[in-house]
Amino acid sequence: MVVTGLFIGRFQPFHNGHLNAIKESLSKAGQLVIAVGSSQRSHEPENLFTLGERIEVIHRVLKEEGLWEKCLIVGIPDVNNNSLWVAHLNALTPRYDMVFSGNPLVTRLFKEAGVEVIAPSFYERGKLEGKQIRLLMKEDSPEWRSHLPKAAVDFIDEINAIERLQDILGSDSHQEVKGEE
Amino acid sequence: MVVTGLFIGRFQPFHNGHLNAIKESLSKAGQLVIAVGSSQRSHEPENLFTLGERIEVIHRVLKEEGLWEKCLIVGIPDVNNNSLWVAHLNALTPRYDMVFSGNPLVTRLFKEAGVEVIAPSFYERGKLEGKQIRLLMKEDSPEWRSHLPKAAVDFIDEINAIERLQDILGSDSHQEVKGEE
Amino acid sequence: MVVTGLFIGRFQPFHNGHLNAIKESLSKAGQLVIAVGSSQRSHEPENLFTLGERIEVIHRVLKEEGLWEKCLIVGIPDVNNNSLWVAHLNALTPRYDMVFSGNPLVTRLFKEAGVEVIAPSFYERGKLEGKQIRLLMKEDSPEWRSHLPKAAVDFIDEINAIERLQDILGSDSHQEVKGEE
Amino acid sequence: MVVTGLFIGRFQPFHNGHLNAIKESLSKAGQLVIAVGSSQRSHEPENLFTLGERIEVIHRVLKEEGLWEKCLIVGIPDVNNNSLWVAHLNALTPRYDMVFSGNPLVTRLFKEAGVEVIAPSFYERGKLEGKQIRLLMKEDSPEWRSHLPKAAVDFIDEINAIERLQDILGSDSHQEVKGEE
Amino acid sequence: MVVTGLFIGRFQPFHNGHLNAIKESLSKAGQLVIAVGSSQRSHEPENLFTLGERIEVIHRVLKEEGLWEKCLIVGIPDVNNNSLWVAHLNALTPRYDMVFSGNPLVTRLFKEAGVEVIAPSFYERGKLEGKQIRLLMKEDSPEWRSHLPKAAVDFIDEINAIERLQDILGSDSHQEVKGEE
Amino acid sequence: MVVTGLFIGRFQPFHNGHLNAIKESLSKAGQLVIAVGSSQRSHEPENLFTLGERIEVIHRVLKEEGLWEKCLIVGIPDVNNNSLWVAHLNALTPRYDMVFSGNPLVTRLFKEAGVEVIAPSFYERGKLEGKQIRLLMKEDSPEWRSHLPKAAVDFIDEINAIERLQDILGSDSHQEVKGEE
């Protein structure tokens, strides 16, 4: 029986650190369910892409890398109730044998559910944090391009996502639409 | 056929800048749908009034100004999912031919839906921002009264809204009811 | 550029009619996004399986059929507001070029959004309707097994889903948990 | 001070009975807030029109009748918790002095809140019930046209609502989008 | 350490069958958490009482019976997602050692969570079903009074609940407020 | 007739200040409904415990103090709409004659509903604020133990809540589960 891993992230945006961590996880698990968190959020500085856009990018990259045959992608909307989160996620994913995540809250919630979480040793912290990449994207500093797989860069150019980010940042109200005063 | 404009705001509170912008918009559109955003919010420092109160004020002012015959008011609750916001708004309003808003996120979301948004050149920034008026209201500095149409000032006095604001500001938890520790 | 189709269903359960329709759709589109509706429902007579279970079955069947390389699966929770449904779906899926569905409401909602829907000519009506298969499953009449791909039958046996169905049908309150009187 | 009435309905569709009841109510109240219930529902056999469409029709009819100067329209989404409904409605409407409704549950909920509800003596029951008009519309029997104000009939023709109703009725799943089996 | 039981019901209304079942459960558990399901529903023919009213009745009866010292009451809102229900309930109740319920769906959901449910042998079916008592209450047939503990009957008289039921039953729309046509 | 008080708090965690205030309130009211706010929140730095855990602690402490006979506990989920909050609370609690709370927003909302709120003179501010106790708990400084009733301290040790707090604080995303970047 093939061992199934669950890999959890927000992927805003999907970057080389994610890709390396997926490869690392696939050295331990025969197939990987990639769970995309905060799936209902988009058009925010910290959550630029819709779930559909994130799935499209990840799918393209994994195809290019020849890894798609071993992967599945699922979206996980926020449940806004931490004590329900593991049950919520379990209803949305195929069964899995191991969990990969670097997030302390995710790790804690699984621990209380009796599941150990493996933290991928996956990227040189400081360089590949999503937060820093988003800062580079805001200024359209060319450096952000070197941190993402080529298919992800192409997708961002294709949908003009840098312009989206800059337009949104003109806003005083980043989290939700509120209308002007 | 009469041209219909859509004018989007939160109106916390409705001030002279809004009134001027509505007049400016009515020079371009024969009738105006006034969309009141974050309609479910109230009793918060940034969202003092209920939707019903905001409708009552706007209606009174427009009546006084002789503009009501050309206007309609609709409430738009937050949808907490930016990618749904334009479809959500469209289900709640009569059809429109042009959109007026100064909010960057609103402008971006309409752009992705293929609709251009017109920013009203409407008020001397710095004087008539809702945020600054709310600051003056907090201290009940008489200056706030000069920034609002008379019918709006009267309504605020009538429902004792300055007291509401000051009571709420006594609270540590402005966004939601949490009970004391 | 590869043509992407969107195939919409509830898959309660996934049966041969679905598989044939997917094959038919893949003769028109180079890749297929399979959208699983009412994704938040489960443990009901009409919605027996969780989204995760439905994904697991579909994935297994498509792997077995050698079709997975051309497919993606996404979950679509009910939005309980028909005028938002197309926008809601669009935020949750990669972009697509054509839509396959036999559901009249889905077809109408896409029509109002300017998208034509293709109805797959897919199964001998009367034999492969989900409703009738669920009736056979309720009585565990062996006939239901002949209407599903082998991997789907195996999965149902593996998780003991017939027992789940029969247990639930002992209930007076099929749609939600209500407690006894 | 002008006396404000609150008139509650779903208006699926807006018909002559509604118009007569509004006129009757305006003989008791100087101005009328028209509250449109189940505002989030549309594209269902019992709830064909969006809130925006219902507002557009009512507005047109009242304009034509010369009554708009005395009216306001507000949408009231279902709150799915009857004990909250009056408070929910109160947050969404300007203050009112009297309530007009023929619905028993609405009447009861206001009674528990200490408010008496006036039932308009408004239409010849049997002829002008929304339910019966919807039945006539389903078959596009010309009779439905005689039960609606002309502006309402024109709007229905303009947006092709009979076709919408017939398309939806082709569906097995009228209440929500579920996808085919 | 005291053994804690969880007793699940809707209590619409609380009747002698419930009281007997609680006594039976207290012969097995030293203390009992009484979980009141569908807690957000009220003012419906099948869900007449608010959670607060149900708690008030149960509390009074248990006080009168000298059982309150051994009991706790918690409300459980519907979660509309059966696969989350057990986790949802667990977040809302103190920890428990055994579960009492006669509802097949509840029993199934706990079984999938690895918890066995004990069905109380509690009432002569046919006489004490909530459904039948509600039918007697609708007609205010005096018989309903003999099926409820005295404190429950007194409470129903005190808040005039029979009138509430009859008022609501005048309505065409029992489940939610919809306004007249 | 016994006078019923309503005592409102979040109890994150339940401390001596709460216990003293409950005793003070019970000198004015014969019985007390303890309303636990933000009941759906847990596993956050400001909201560490689930509702069930908070009920379990309060119940144990009140038992130990011999006060349980006079108390009831109810959970109040956030309603995220301040204008509904009092009606929401009223549907969830037995009827009450007086309200105890030190929270300014709660006090304001009850004032608008015509109910005066009594602020308990209950604790030496600066020592017993929940916020400060949570800070002491974060560092597991032994001092936090002296601010809580013994049964509350024992419960926290029993469920290892200090470890839960420290695990969560390793997280960048305290409010909701977001997955790593």
Residues A62-112: tens digit of each pLDDT: 999 999 999 999 999 999 899 999 999 999 999 999 999 999 999 999 999
**Are residues E112 and C164, on separate chains, in Cβ contact within 8 Å?**
yes
**Are residues E42 and D83, on separate chains, in Cβ contact within 8 Å?**
yes
Q: What's the rounded mean pLDDT across residues C68-76?
A: 98
Q: How far apart are CA C49 and CA B178, in angstroms?
A: 37
How many other C-beta atoms can be found within 10 angstroms of the C-beta atom of residue E171?
Answer: 20
Instruction: Work out how many CB contacts closer than 8 A connect A with C.
Output: 61
Residue in B with minimal Cα distance to D50 = B91
Q: DSSP label at A140?
A: T
In this structure, what token pair is assigned to residue F142? 């032994």
Q: Is C106's Cβ below 8 Å from some Cβ in D?
A: yes
The fraction of chain C above a pLDDT of 70, given in percent, is 90
- Cα-Cα-Cα-Cα dihedral sign, residues C135, C138, C142, C146: positive
Which residue in the set F42, F69, F73 is minimally distant from E69, CB to CB? F69
**Are residues C84 and B87, on separate chains, in Cβ contact within 8 Å?**
yes
Residue C178, pLDDT score:
46
Q: Are B5 and B33 in contact (CB under 8 A)?
A: yes
- Quote the minimal CA–CA distance from F56 to chain B in Å: 17
Q: Is E95's Cβ below 8 Å from some Cβ in F?
A: yes
Q: What's the rounded mean pLDDT across residues C40-64?
A: 97
The residue among C78, C83, C93 with the most chain B CBs within 10 A of its CB, best to mutate, is C83
Average pLDDT of chain C?
92
pLDDT along chain B (181 residues), means of 10: 95 96 97 98 97 98 97 96 97 98 95 95 68 92 95 97 94 46 46
- Quote the minimal CA–CA distance from E84 to chain F in Å: 14
The residue among F80, F160, F175, F180 with the most chain A CBs within 10 A of its CB, best to mutate, is F180
- Quote the minimal CA–CA distance from A88 to chain E in Å: 6
How far is the CA of B118 from the CAs of A172, C66, D139, F97, in angstroms? Answer: 18, 52, 44, 54
Residues of chain C in contact with residue A52, where contact means CB-CB under 8 angstroms, are: 74, 90-95
Q: Is C96's Cβ below 8 Å from some Cβ in D?
A: no
Does the pLDDT at position A124 exceed 70?
no
Residue C179, pLDDT score:
46
Chains in contact with chain B (at least 3 beta-carbon pairs closer than 8 A):
A, C, D, F
How far is the CA of A145 from the CAs of A124, A148, F178, in angstroms? Answer: 16, 6, 24
**Are residues D181 and C104, on separate chains, in Cβ contact within 8 Å?**
no
Tens of pLDDT, residue by residue over E92-126, are 999 999 999 999 999 999 999 999 999 988 655 55
Count of residues in chain A: 181
How many other C-beta atoms can be found within 10 angstroms of the C-beta atom of residue A141?
Answer: 10
Chains in contact with chain A (at least 3 beta-carbon pairs closer than 8 A):
B, C, E, F
Does the pLDDT at position F179 exceed 50?
no
Which residue in the set C55, C68, C90 is minimally distant from A74, CB to CB? C55
Q: DSSP label at B44?
A: B
Q: Counting Cβ atoms within 10 Å, is residue E176 exposed (0-12), middle (13-18) or buried (19+)? A: middle
Residue in B with minimal Cα distance to F39 = B178
Q: Residue C173: pLDDT band by 50, 70, 90 thresholds?
A: very low
Residue in E with minimal Cα distance to C174 = E105
Helices D51-64 and D150-158: angle between axes, nearest 10 degrees: 140
Q: Which residues pair with E71 in a beta bridge?
A: E32
**Are residues B75 and D95, on separate chains, in Cβ contact within 8 Å?**
no
Q: Is C111's Cβ below 8 Å from some Cβ in D?
A: yes
**Are residues B56 and D92, on separate chains, in Cβ contact within 8 Å?**
no
Q: Which residues pair with B118 in a beta bridge?
A: B100
Amino acid code (one letter) for D130: G
Residues of chain F in contact with residue A82, where contact means CB-CB under 8 angstroms, are: 41-44, 176-177
Q: Residue C10: pLDDT band by 50, 70, 90 thresholds?
A: very high
**Are residues E178 and D104, on separate chains, in Cβ contact within 8 Å?**
no
Q: How far apart are CA B148 and CA E99, in angstroms?
A: 61
Give contacts of F 31-60 with A, CB under 8 A: 40-44, 50
**Are residues D181 and C112, on separate chains, in Cβ contact within 8 Å?**
no
Q: Is residue D49 classed as helix, strand or coil in its secondary structure? A: coil
Q: How far apart are CA B12 and CA B45, in angstroms?
A: 9
Which residue in the set A10, A37, A104 is minimally distant from F170, CB to CB? A104
Amino acid code (one letter) for D49: F
Which residue in the set C83, C90, C91 is minimally distant from B91, CB to CB? C83
Q: Are F100 and F117 in contact (CB under 8 A)?
A: yes
**Are residues F82 and B43, on separate chains, in Cβ contact within 8 Å?**
yes
The residue assigned the tokens 């334009």 is B86
- Quote the minimal CA–CA distance from D120 to chain B in Å: 24
Q: Is F10's Cβ below 8 Å from some Cβ in B?
A: yes
Q: Does chain A touch chain E (at least 3 C-beta pairs within 8 Å)?
A: yes
Q: How far apart are CA F61 and CA F74, in angstroms?
A: 16
Q: How far apart are CA A5 and CA A16, in angstroms?
A: 19
Q: Are C32 and C59 in contact (CB under 8 A)?
A: no
Q: Which residues pair with C112 in a beta bridge?
A: none
- Residues with Cβ within 8 Å of E124's Cβ and at least 6 positions away in sequence, in order, are none
Q: Which residues pair with F31 in a beta bridge?
A: F4
- Quote the minimal CA–CA distance from C72 to chain A in Å: 8
How many other C-beta atoms can be found within 10 angstroms of the C-beta atom of residue D143?
Answer: 14
The secondary structure element, H or E, covering residue C149 is: none
**Are residues A178 and B81, on separate chains, in Cβ contact within 8 Å?**
no
Residue D45, pLDDT score:
94
The residue among B54, B81, B105 with the most chain A CBs within 10 A of its CB, best to mutate, is B105
Does the pLDDT at position F176 exceed 70?
no
Of D127, E105, A106, B163, which Cα lies nearest the Cα of C177? E105
Q: Residue D175: pLDDT band by 50, 70, 90 thresholds?
A: very low
Helices (H), chain A: 16-26, 51-64, 85-92, 104-112, 130-138, 150-158, 161-169
Q: Are B95 and B5 in contact (CB under 8 A)?
A: no
How far is the CA of D111 from the CAs of E163, F3, F136, in angstroms? Answer: 11, 26, 51
Q: Residue E176: pLDDT band by 50, 70, 90 thresholds?
A: very low
Q: How far apart are CA E16 and CA E20, in angstroms?
A: 6
What is the value of ipTM here, to two decimals? Answer: 0.92
Q: What's the rounded mean pLDDT across residues E137-148?
A: 94
Q: Residue E41: pLDDT band by 50, 70, 90 thresholds?
A: very high
- Give C20 or A175, the one with higher predicted confidence: C20
Of A120, A106, A171, A138, which Cα lies nearest the Cα of A12? A138
Q: Is B61's Cβ below 8 Å from some Cβ in D?
A: no
**Are residues A41 and B130, on separate chains, in Cβ contact within 8 Å?**
no
Residue F13, pLDDT score:
97
Q: Is F141's Cβ below 8 Å from some Cβ in A?
A: no
Give contacts of A 63-92 with F, CB under 8 A: 78-83, 85
Q: How far apart are CA D118 and CA C103, in angstroms?
A: 43
Q: Are A17 and A123 in contact (CB under 8 A)?
A: yes
How many other C-beta atoms can be found within 10 angstroms of the C-beta atom of residue F13?
Answer: 25
Q: How far apart are CA F59 and CA B75, in angstroms?
A: 44
Q: DSSP label at E47?
A: B
How far is the CA of A16 from the CAs of A22, A88, A133, in angstroms? Answer: 10, 28, 11
**Are residues A81 and F170, on separate chains, in Cβ contact within 8 Å?**
no
The secondary structure element, H or E, covering residue C57 is: helix C51-64
Of F41, F1, F64, which Cα lies nearest the Cα of F174? F41
- Quote the minimal CA–CA distance from F122 to chain E in Å: 26
Strands D4-9 and C71-76: unpaired
Q: Is F113's Cβ below 8 Å from some Cβ in D?
A: no
Q: What's the rounded mean pLDDT across residues A154-168?
A: 96
Q: Which of A121-135, B48-62, B130-144, F73-87 has the lowest mean pLDDT?
A: A121-135
The whole-angstrom distance between residue E128's C-alpha and the CA centroid of its chain comes to: 13
Q: Is residue E57 classed as helix, strand or coil in its secondary structure? A: helix
Q: Residue A171: pLDDT band by 50, 70, 90 thresholds?
A: low
- Residues with Cβ within 8 Å of B158's Cβ and at least 6 positions away in sequence, in order, are none
Residue A23, pLDDT score:
97
Q: DSSP label at B38?
A: S
Which residue in the set C51, C53, C91 is minimally distant from A50, CB to CB? C91
Q: Does chain B touch chain D (at least 3 C-beta pairs within 8 Å)?
A: yes
Q: Are E55 and E171 in contact (CB under 8 A)?
A: no
**For chain E, give me the number of helices (H) and strands (E)?**
8, 5
Q: Residue D171: pLDDT band by 50, 70, 90 thresholds?
A: low
